[in-house]
Amino acid sequence: MRVAMYYNNRDIRVEEMDLPRPGPDELLVKIEASSICGSDVMEWYRAGKAPLVLGHEIAGTVFRVGAGVRRFQTGDRVTATHHVPCGCCRLCQTGHETVCETLLAKTSFDPGGFAEFVRLPAINVAKGTWKIPDSVSFDEATFVEPLGCVVRGQRRCSLSPGASVLVIGSGIAGLLHVKLATATGMGHVCVSDISAFRRQRAIDCGAALAFDAADDVAALFRQSNNGRGADAVIVCTSAVAAFTQAMAAVAPGGTILLFAPTGQGVTLPLAVNDLFWRRDVTMTTTYAAGPGDCAVALELLARKRVHVTDLITHRFALADTVKGFGLVAGADTSLKVVIEPQR
């Protein structure tokens, strides 16, 4: 079978690999669509690991079924998450399943999703694979995992209907946050970004206002929100200035969610008194999505509560995967890039 072998963001080659064989309780899936995640283009994170086949936002059709599989059969349209937790360790039992040791180190696709076929290990089949409803296309199904990450993040913010939200950074993650926040009844949802293209896309996605990140965003947000800061500020960019902006914009009693990773080794300036002294601000983080979050995301997509096809700006054949990586890594006129391995 053909795979897109990653060496770096500018060197991705179509190579041949043996077709994986599904073992007991496993599936072999023919990949119809696989989206490029922002984490795929973080070269520092791939240092020392290449060459490898990336891709974890997948959708396809069951091609072969391993012995013992009961829930799926050949021809089923499916989507899956590449990492799943054990479900029984202390971390899983206390709501931190996305940092479970099993999830972090012991589950993954074979190979990654930028390939014609992918083998799903037994634990992924059991805990992190779903049939795609008829109302959801393969392209839409690639959003299950990234939207699941957003679902988990907003749950960490403990948002109530009518809450005010500022999303800093309106790339694909920021736009999904806008869509989910508006779909779940948040009262005043705004964004900030340096890109005019992305600010306009945020408005198209339902944001009330989109501020130029070079302006005094905290002041502009308060002007638009009856003098109050944001109940939640969701940081979806690695720019260090965004964290300072978040501290200035959050309301007393509000929450700052650090959603995007920074570059390797980056530290943040933090005035501790600005968090607690007469402000009672919560700063929290989120990582990845648990199976439950992905199931919620799939339901939102199936019931058209969250629409995502408007976020797909480019589609490429497997041979042009490197073009997709170039767009995600550098251009501000792309959002979600989908690779179609069967082309």
**Confidence bin at 148 (pLDDT 50/70/90):** very high
Q: Which residues does 190 contact at the CB level (< 8 Å), separation at least 6? A: 165, 166, 167, 207, 208, 209, 210, 211, 221, 224, 230
Q: What is the DSSP string of 240-279?
A: HHHHHHHHHHEEEEEEEEE-S--STT------HHHHHTTT
| Closest to 164 measured CA to CA, from 180, 181, 187 | 187
What's the distance, CA 316 to chain centroid? 20
pLDDT digits (tens, 9 = 90+) for 158-170: 999 999 999 999 9
The pair of structure tokens assigned to 316 is 């490429």
| Closest to 239 measured CA to CA, from 189, 169, 178 | 169
CATH architecture of 2-143+308-340: Alpha-Beta Complex (3.90)
> Please, where in the chain does CATH 3.40.50.720 lie?
150-285
pLDDT for residue 95:
95
pLDDT for residue 266:
86
pLDDT for residue 235:
98
Q: Helix, strand, or coil here: 149?
A: helix
Looking at every residue in the chain, the average pLDDT score rounds to 95
Residues facing 28 on adjacent strands: 64, 119
| Closest to 187 measured CA to CA, from 161, 153, 223, 217 | 161
Q: Which of 81-90, 103-112, 244-253 has the lowest mean pLDDT?
A: 103-112
Q: Helix, strand, or coil here: 301?
A: helix
pLDDT digits (tens, 9 = 90+) for 4-27: 999 999 999 999 999 999 999 999
Q: Which of 39-48, 123-132, 212-221 has the lowest mean pLDDT?
A: 39-48
Q: Which of 28-32, 40-44, 89-93, 300-304 has the lowest mean pLDDT?
A: 40-44
The pair of structure tokens assigned to 328 is 């995600």
The pair of structure tokens assigned to 200 is 């306009």
Say if pTM beats, i.e. exceeds, 0.85: yes
> Please, where in the chain does CATH 3.90.180.10 lie?
2-143+308-340
pLDDT digits (tens, 9 = 90+) for 245-296: 999 999 999 999 999 988 888 888 777 887 778 889 999 999 999 999 999 9
What mean pLDDT is predicted for residues 168-190? 97
Q: Does the pLDDT of residue 46 top 90, yes or no?
A: no
pLDDT digits (tens, 9 = 90+) for 200-253: 999 999 999 999 999 999 999 999 999 999 999 999 998 889 999 999 999 999
Q: Which residues of 331-341 are buried (b: 16+ CB within 10 A; e: fewer)?
A: eeebbbbbbbb
CATH hierarchy code of domain 150-285: 3.40.50.720
